[in-house]
Structure formats: C-alpha cells, structure tokens
Amino acid sequence: MIKLLIPDSYYESVFFVDRNKLKDMGIKGIIIDIDNTLIPWEEKEADNKVFTFINNLIEDGFKICIISNNTKKRVDKFNEIFNLPAIHNAGKPKKSPYIKAMKLLKTNSKNTAVIGDQIFTDVLGGNRLGLYTILVNPISSKEFVWTRIVRKLEKILIKKILKEID
Ligand SMILES: [Mg+2]
C-alpha cells in the first residue's frame, strides 16, 4: 500500500516540473489537477504564470488533460481559456478518470504522467495504473477541513518519501 502512495518525483511547485526530463522519458500525455496544483482553491481563473506554464507544455508537444474532483462549473471556468480535455467530479483516486483521460489523450500508462498536489487522490490514482506520478506542493493553505487533516498525514509521508526517491 505504501508504494502506491509514493510519487515518482516531487517538486516544490508545479512551475518547477522539468519538462525536458519528461520529454526524455518519453512522456506524451500529462494529466493534471487544478485545485492547489495550478491555482489556489479560492481562485477561479488561471493567472499569467499558469497560462505560460500550460502553453509551454503544449508547445513542447505534450497533450494535457485536466482531471478534477471539483464541479463542472469550477472546471469549465478554469478551462475556458485553455479548452483542454477535462474531467470534472473525477472521484480520484478511482482508476476510471485516469483511464478516460488516457483515452482522450490517446496515450497509455507508459507514456502518461500525472501532476497533482495530493498523495491520496492524484498520486494514489496514478500509481494504481502505473502512470508516472509527480507530486507538487499545494499553492494555497486555504482548504477544506478534511483536506487539512489529510495534509498532516501527507507531511509525514513526504518525509518518508523524500528518503526513498532520488
Ligand atoms: Mg489538488
């Protein structure tokens, strides 16, 4: 079980994710979370930094799909300027949204990466299917109470994880 909670890599921020490394690994598709990965939980729209980040990925040839456990309204509003394939109310860490995303991207578990800020949703879901999982620090500290409890557990796990990955 613990293995399924360990990401393949970890970055302090989504903006530090190494695109060249992903390219070299043969990653073609990127499944990405919105809340606290790209924008703070309380924000609705992408700022310039996020816009540039997503566009750089697209220019580098990556195909991107959003999967979010949040509502259609939330996902649609964020996605307005990007018009990316997107799955709302995904129910991560269920496998189904990841499988659906790979279908939309026409990629498979060998050439798809997941980027997200939560071990128990983003990373766990991706690892269950053998995708390349990337954990990033959450952008905002304003979160649901439940998420905050999970975070405490995640902090403990991250310390363990950092010892295990290179
Ligand atoms: Mg998130």
Q: Delineate the domains of the chain, giving CATH numbers in brackets.
A: 2-164 (3.40.50.1000)
| Sheet-wide strand order for 29-32 | 9-11, 132-136, 112-116, 29-32, 63-67, 86-87
Average pLDDT over residues 105-123: 96
- Ligand 1 geometric centre to CA of 35 (Å): 4
- Ligand 1 geometric centre to CA of 66 (Å): 11
C-alpha distance from residue 96 to each of 24, 63, 120 (Å): 27, 19, 16
| pLDDT tens digits along 79-95 | 999 999 999 999 999 99
Average pLDDT over residues 138-157: 74
What is the distance between the alpha carbons of residues 112 and 139, in angstroms, rounded to a whole number? 23
Q: What is the DSSP string of 125-156?
A: HHHHTT-EEEEE--S-S---HHHHHHHHHHHH
- Ligand 1 geometric centre to CA of 106 (Å): 24
- Ligand 1 geometric centre to CA of 107 (Å): 22
Single-letter residue type at 132: Y
Residue 61 has pLDDT above 70, yes or no: yes
- Ligand 1 geometric centre to CA of 25 (Å): 24
- Ligand 1 geometric centre to CA of 135 (Å): 10
- Ligand 1 geometric centre to CA of 83 (Å): 19
Which sign does the torsion angle of CA 74, 48, 30, 32 carry? negative
Phi, psi torsion values for 159, nearest 5 degrees: -60, -45
pLDDT, residue 12, reads 87
- Ligand 1 geometric centre to CA of 36 (Å): 5
Q: Which residue has the higher pLDDT, 43 or 79?
A: 79
Residue 85: other Cβ atoms inside 10 A: 18
Phi, psi torsion values for 94, nearest 5 degrees: -60, 150
Contact 125, 154 (CB under 8 A): no
* pTM summary value: 0.88
Percent of the chain with pLDDT over 90: 77
- Ligand 1 geometric centre to CA of 123 (Å): 10
Residue 164 has pLDDT above 90, yes or no: no
Residue 166 has pLDDT above 60, yes or no: no
